[in-house]
Amino acid sequence: MARFNVPAIGATEITPETVFLQRRRLLQAAVALGAAGMAGCSVDNAEAETPAAAPPASALKVNGSTDMAGGENLTPEEVITTYNNFYELGLDKGDPARNASWLKTDNWQVEVGGACAKPGTVGIEDLIDYNALEERVYRLRCVEAWSMVVPWLGVPLGDILKRFEPTSNAKYVRFDTILDPDNLKGQRSSILQWPYTEGLRMDEAMHPLSFMAVGLYGKTLPAQNGAPLRLVVPWKYGYKSIKSIVRIEFVEEQPDTSWNLSAPHEYGFYSNVNPTVSHPRWSQARERRLDGSVITPKINTLMFNGYADQVASLYDGMDLTKYT
């Protein structure tokens, strides 16, 4: 398994998961104070009843694990699966876990098209080789200044894209998430233009760090984490890691993306983690690593989320204060 030269940073001391579970109510109260997020939008309370719990995630075969987070302690699984941004399942951080059964993943298919020689619609089992899954430990940095260290399970994005033989006209890749407002009641709100869309430049998409995840902690992705298929681009802010993907399109022009359409003065197309460029409403210089503690100290945010040695060359000559 190839390893990348990731610079090590000091680990945040982690609280044992058993202790965390005993004080979960305190954690939920604490994180509510830090959920800076988008204000002033909500899903109709009459529609936001708590449905039956989603079925437990099943175990997946892990063929090897590669640490790409500099030896940092993993964020507890309980935190990763209960503190999420997934507005299709609700706007509060705890809503996606509570509303997980809204997302229906049976017979999942992904349409691949645009500037490629082999377009088509494939099932998830045909898109992903479940006998060749890697575990990669990546940092995940949210634009709201919190972060995690997650053991994702999946395959390199480039390996998937090559199968469809993109042509020379493919300069970017666009991704769409599922559109299902009958079940995904968050899509009845006006906070975003639905379906959620994201995009990468082709060299970003083909970079060895770019990853398509189907699991975490050795199990299939829970709905709240983007089941059954989500993007992971570790040097970008978390909202670039689109969840529950149903369409991949190779395009020649830079695609519109959901947050850039919603607030172009706040969210650029590239969205690289850059501690020197502040969000209009808060600094990005420091972050709070969620580790299961009620209160965790802030740490310095690293350029490109700590992956500068691997990806900085992608942006040579670009003004990173302009191309945010």
* Per-residue pLDDT, 9: 36
Give CA–CA dist 85/231, Å, rounded. Answer: 14
Span 278-287, mean pLDDT? 95
Which residues 6+ apart lie within 8 Å of 309 measured at CB?
4, 5, 6, 7
CB 175 within 8 A of CB 248: yes
- Whole-structure pTM value: 0.84
* Per-residue pLDDT, 294: 81
CB 290 within 8 A of CB 146: yes
* Alpha carbon distances (Å) from 147 to 140, 236, 278, 298: 5, 12, 16, 10
Res. 218 pLDDT band, cuts 50 70 90: very high
Give CA–CA dist 98/194, Å, rounded. Answer: 21
Give CA–CA dist 196/3, Å, rounded. Answer: 32
Average model confidence (pLDDT) across the chain: 87
Q: Pairing mode, if any, of strands 134-141 and 298-300?
A: unpaired
Span 191-219, mean pLDDT? 98
Residue 277 has pLDDT above 80, yes or no: yes
* Per-residue pLDDT, 292: 86
Selection from 296, 283, 302, 245 nearest residue 31 by Cα: 296
Which domains, from first to last, does the chain contain?
Answer: 17-315 (3.90.420.10)
Better-predicted residue by pLDDT, 29 or 289: 289
Res. 203 pLDDT band, cuts 50 70 90: very high
Better-predicted residue by pLDDT, 213 or 47: 213
Span 37-47, mean pLDDT? 38
